[in-house]
């Protein structure tokens, strides 16, 4: 009975002749019936706006930089967040703000001394070893040479840091201070190299070489860019730039004359060095004075607002009597 379900194409030839005659006689005559076609699904007309859907990425909820998840997670927890520094500043009085300005200035000054001491670590160790276990020569001179070398390094490093803007509150931050400390040491080493070449020329009776100041704009630009530090010939004296003139405008004429007289008494190779350091210090003092002035202005505005709202304090009244308004 395998012929009933055989899938072989030659199964028709294997049928019994009598069975094949029977099937041919009983087969229906006429056109073969056609099977109904499956109903076609209705085509949905898309609207013009739906033909090219525009995928809009949802905006991430804003989170403050203090959050560790800048992708917007837990944004609802940060809605009412206020930085601690802002909260503390709201409750500060005029005296507190002035004290903060002075403390910040003194802190930068103290850190400048620490940075200069770190750059002069080898000179300090030499002085320390001399005081602890001096030899005969050092005992006779009371470590004068070692102390002079350390003090010279310490003072020069502080002046270079001042010239680089260490005391300027507008540009001071931990990252910038680290770069300034590194650049200050490079500039001081270049200054020592120039002095060595000058002393060597004097010993040989040669003309004294003239080098540009290590704190010149060109030299400090080379230091910042990582260029090679080599003694450069002294360039022609250039006129002070606008920034330098702006600093001198905030200095009283009598004080400026005193500073200029002090600079004129220095040797030419040290004059530019001292002038740049002085400008850095004056720039920092001018910036601190502006901060103090801005604090007084804000305090006066707040005092006038309290008086208009009928919430003036006793201190506001006393200041008004004294003519502070």
Query: Is there a domain that residue 9 lies in?
Result: no
Query: Is there a domain that residue 108 lies in?
Result: yes
Query: Is there a domain that residue 64 lies in?
Result: no
Which pLDDT band holds residue 309 (cuts at 50, 70, 90)? confident
CA distance 215 to 23: 116
Give me the sign of the Cα torsion angle 295, 299, 305, 309: positive
Which pLDDT band holds residue 235 (cuts at 50, 70, 90)? low
Query: Is there a domain that residue 106 lies in?
Result: yes
3-class secondary-structure state, position 136: helix
User: Using the 8-state DSSP alphabet, how is residue 233 labeled?
Assistant: B
User: Using the 8-state DSSP alphabet, how is residue 33 labeled?
Assistant: P
The region of weakest confidence among 138-147, 148-157, 296-305 is 296-305
Tell me, what's the pLDDT at 276?
A: 87
The pLDDT tens digits for 68-100 are 888 888 888 888 788 877 777 777 777 888 888
CA distance 264 to 71: 60
Query: Is there a domain that residue 124 lies in?
Result: yes
Query: Is there a domain that residue 41 lies in?
Result: no
Is the separation of the CB atoms in 209 and 197 below 8 Å? yes
Which pLDDT band holds residue 6 (cuts at 50, 70, 90)? very low
CA distance 228 to 222: 7
User: Using the 8-state DSSP alphabet, how is residue 5 labeled?
Assistant: T
Query: Is there a domain that residue 37 lies in?
Result: no
Query: Is there a domain that residue 99 lies in?
Result: yes
The region of weakest confidence among 166-170, 223-227, 280-284 is 223-227
- Alpha carbon 178 to its chain's center: 11
Highest average pLDDT, of 8-17, 78-87, 129-138, 223-232, comes from: 129-138
Tell me, what's the pLDDT at 121?
A: 95
Looking at the 3D structure of the chain, how many domains does it have? Answer: 1
Return mean pLDDT, the chain: 77
Read off the pTM: 0.66
User: Using the 8-state DSSP alphabet, how is residue 66 labeled?
Assistant: T
CA distance 278 to 263: 10
Domain assignment of residue 213, given as a range: 91-308
CA distance 205 to 27: 134
Which pLDDT band holds residue 151 (cuts at 50, 70, 90)? very high
């Amino acid at each position: 009975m395998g012929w009933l379900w055989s899938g072989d194409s030659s199964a028709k030839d294997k049928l019994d002749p009598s069975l094949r005659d029977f099937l041919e006689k009983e087969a229906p005559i006429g056109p073969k019936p056609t099977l109904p076609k499956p109903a076609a699904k209705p085509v949905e007309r898309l609207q013009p706006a739906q033909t090219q859907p525009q995928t809009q990425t949802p905006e991430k909820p804003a989170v403050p930089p203090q959050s560790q998840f800048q992708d917007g997670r837990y944004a609802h927890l940060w809605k009412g967040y206020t930085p601690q520094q802002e909260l503390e500043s709201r409750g500060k009085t005029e005296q507190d703000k002035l004290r903060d300005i002075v403390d910040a200035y003194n802190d930068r000054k103290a850190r400048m001394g620490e940075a200069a001491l770190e750059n002069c670590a080898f000179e300090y160790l030499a002085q320390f070893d001399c005081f602890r276990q001096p030899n005969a020569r050092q005992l006779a001179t009371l470590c004068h040479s070692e102390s002079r070398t350390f003090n010279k390094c310490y003072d020069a490093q502080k002046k270079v840091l001042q010239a680089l803007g260490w005391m300027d509150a507008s540009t001071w931050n931990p990252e910038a201070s680290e770069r300034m400390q590194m650049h200050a040491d490079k500039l001081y080493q270049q200054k020592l190299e120039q002095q060595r070449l000058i002393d060597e020329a004097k010993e040989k009776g040669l003309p004294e070489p003239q080098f540009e100041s290590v704190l010149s704009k060109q030299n400090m630009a080379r230091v910042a860019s990582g260029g090679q530090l080599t003694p450069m010939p002294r360039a022609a004296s250039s006129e002070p730039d606008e920034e330098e003139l702006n600093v001198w405008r905030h200095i009283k004429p009598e004080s400026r004359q005193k500073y200029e007289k002090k600079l004129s008494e220095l040797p030419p190779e040290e004059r530019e060095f001292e002038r740049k350091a002085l400008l850095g210090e004056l720039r920092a003092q001018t910036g601190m004075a502006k901060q103090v002035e801005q604090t007084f202005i804000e305090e006066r505005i707040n005092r006038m607002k309290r008086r208009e709202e009928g919430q003036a304090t006793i201190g506001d009244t006393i200041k008004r009597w004294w003519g502070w308004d």
